[in-house]
Every structure is written in C-alpha cells, then in structure tokens.
Structure 1
Amino acid sequence: MSVTTRSADTRRLILDTARQIMARKGYSAVGINEVLTEAGVPKGSFYHYFASKDAFGEAILRGYFADYLADMDAVLSQPGRSSAERLMAYWQQWRETQSAGECQGRCLAVKLGAEVADLSEPMRLALKDGTGAVVDRIGRAVAAGLEDGSLAVDGDPHEVAQALYDMWLGASVMSKIHRSPAPLDTATAVTRGLLHL
C-alpha cells in the first residue's frame, strides 16, 4: 500500500469516526483528541490531514453529503417502481433513519445544521451545497412523477421539493424534541397529500 493510499485511508477513518461521534454529540461538544483516540490515530497527526477544525468540519459535511446523495440516488433509481413509489421509499428511509434512537452518522444535516451555520462559513456553505443537491434530486423525482403520471402537484416541482425537504427537516427536529416518530408520520401524510397520492 502506498503512502498516499495509507494517508487517504487514515483521513477517511478520522472523518468516519468523527461523523459517528458528532451524530450523537454535535459539533462543538466533540474535541479533536476524542476523535483521534477513538480512531486510533496519533494525536499529533491531525494537522497533517486537516488545516484547521473548520476545514475538518467542512470535510465531514462534504463527505457526509457525498455518501448521502449516493444512497439517495440508489433509492430514487430503483427499477420496476414508479417515480412516486421511489420518492415515497426515500421518505420511508428518512423516517426509519431519523426515528431510530441512534442515527449512526446518517443525520448530520439535522444534527449539525443550526449549530454550525453560525460558527463556520465553510461549514455553512457545505450544508447549503449538500442540502441544495438533495432538494434538486427531490425536484427531479417530482418532475419524473409528473411525467410518468404517478403523482401530481400544485406548483413548480422544485418549489414543492423545497417545501417537502423543509418540512421533513423540521419534522426530524421535532421528532428528536418529542422523542417520538409522530412528527415524521405527520410529514408522511402531508407528503402524500402534496403529491396527490
């Protein structure tokens, strides 16, 4: 294994470890030493992989969204299903992920969004880019559903997509506050109504 490959693997290990911890504790509550200890990486090597904690946080978010969008693309391109069925499968996966007691690094937009948007401009922009890419995919799925006749909407597909994403993000926060999946169940019902399903 080359030094470059080993370095990339170590960087990825640090990012994956941080994602798991931050999904539980948030960004500000997690120290770099905690992440490095958990990852089994020497403490003095952090700045070999990241220029600052800000750059570290941005890398976590960009990596998170790259993985999230790949998973989302897989759900939204499942063969043998209508566009509406694919889109509802995405929301069902969201519900299952967000209502679990431990989201295993799959809910960083919900967990970190409000916290880091005011702390770091690079992290805010990573969140903006990532959530924008999610909304774009939802908008394309809505437009495909209009095309194949599996759903209907009142309004522009992208605006409907933005409203749906905003609602689901809010429902996820409320689900955490109430420690109940009820807000996500409400979001599912409202989504069905907005898509005329």
Structure 2
Amino acid sequence: MAHANGSIDVRRGILDTAHRIVGAKGFSGVGLNEILAAAGVPKGSFYHYFGSKEAFGEALLAEYFEEYHADLDATLAEAGLSHAERLMNYWRKWQATQGSIDYQRKCLAVKLAAEVSDLSEPMRLALKSGTAGIIERVTGAVEAGMAEGSLEVDGEPRATAETLYHVWLGASLMAKIVRTDAPFEAAMATTRHILNPRTT
C-alpha cells in the first residue's frame, strides 16, 4: 500500500510541476527532461507513470479539469448567495486568475486549445470533455438563476452558457495579446448584458 501511495504522490508531483511549466511555455515547447528535472524524478521512471508524452498530456488535462470542476462546483454552491451572485463570482474569479501575469495555474484550456487540438486527437478530446463539463455547470447555474428570478435571460440556458464561455475564452486570448484588462472588462459587460443579474 505504501508503494502504491508513493506512486500516486510521484505521479501527482509530475503533473503539478508540469502544469506550472506547460502553463507558461506550452506543451510542445517543453521537453520531458525539463519537467522531470523540476519534479525531481528520474527520466527512466517517466514511462512507469505515463505510456507516452501524449498520454501524459491527456492525464495533465484530466487532472486539471477535475480540479477546475471541483472549484467551479464550490463557487456555484457558495452559501448565502443567489445563483446570479455565484455565477458572477465565477467570472470575477476567472478575470482575477487569468488576468494575473504571475498566476501559476492559468487555464490550460486557454493555453493549449489552439496548440494541441491539431496535433493530438486524444488531447483534443480531453479538452472537449473538460470544457463541456464547465458549460454544463454554467448551464445549470443559469437555469437555477432563471428559476429563482435572480437572472433574466432571453435565450436558452445552454446556448447562453456556451456563448458566455466562448466570450471569456476569447477575452483570455485577447488579454494575452494586448496585456491589459480591457478584454476582461468587455467580457464582464457582455456577461451582465446577457444574464441581466438582479442581485449583483
């Protein structure tokens, strides 16, 4: 059992280290040697945990989205707030994390979408599954907000959630280009217009 737990810890250590490095440099631009050296793991043991670099990329995305979904679930269930307030807090957290130059756990969906989607079908599918999970959760929050009257949305909840995710994904990419908060401020204004929150 101790050996199994140790293996899990080493695997997680590799993934946590990789998230920071890949988040800064991209997937193709980072060699396994750099990740393993930073994680303090011998190169020869890499394939004990991952069958290939592509399988490693899938695992990296799976771990990232598992954590992201858990954080989003917590945000959308925060006690004492309306569904509108919870949903607007999600976008505020998005801006706070993705707008920070020094933030070490930036969204891998933003960082890797264009890079790996044309290079690796398994990684593209991992991105597709992970982002679908985000949209499903936002859809549920929109539905709940409409039901309680804290949101006044003209469109269908799922289409609204998809549009908002696309808006914020685009804002994150543009923020990298212009290096200001202007894209996020525009995304927030668009979000308020689409959701028409009544309690924020």
| Range of TM-score over shorter length | over 0.9
Aligned to 1:57: 57
Please report how far the alpha carbon of residue 106 of structure 1 lies from its aligned counterpart in structure 2 after TM superposition: 3.0
Aligned to 2:190: 190
Equivalence map 1:87-166=2 (5 Å): 87-166=87-166
Deviations along 1:6-52, whole A, 9 cap, x unmatched?
00110000011000001100000000010000000011111111000
In 2, are the aligned partners of 1:36 and 1:43 still within 8 Å (CA)? yes
- What SS is found at the alignment partner of 1:102? coil
Aligned AA for 1:173? L
In the TM superposition, structure 1's runs of 4+ consecutive aligned residues that sit over 6 Å from their partners are none
Task: Provide the rounded CA distance (Å) in 1 between the counterparts of 2:188 and 2:32.
Answer: 38
In structure 1, runs of 5+ residues without a counterpart are none
In 2, are the aligned partners of 1:76 and 1:83 still within 8 Å (CA)? yes
Aligned to 1:70: 70
Deviations along 1:60-114, whole A, 9 cap, x unmatched?
0000000000001110000100000000000000000111002312311101111
Aligned AA for 2:23? A
CA root-mean-square deviation: 0.8
In structure 2, runs of 5+ residues without a counterpart are none
Identity %: 57
Q: What TM-score do you get using the length of structure 1 for normalisation?
A: 0.98
Aligned AA for 2:8? A
Please report how far the alpha carbon of residue 115 of structure 1 lies from its aligned counterpart in structure 2 after TM superposition: 0.4
Task: Provide the rounded CA distance (Å) in 1 between the counterparts of 2:30 and 2:38.
Answer: 11
Task: Provide the rounded CA distance (Å) in 1 between the counterparts of 2:111 and 2:181.
Answer: 16
Q: What TM-score do you get using the length of structure 2 for normalisation?
A: 0.97
Deviations along 1:110-147, whole A, 9 cap, x unmatched?
01111010111110000000000000000000000001
- What SS is found at the alignment partner of 1:163? helix
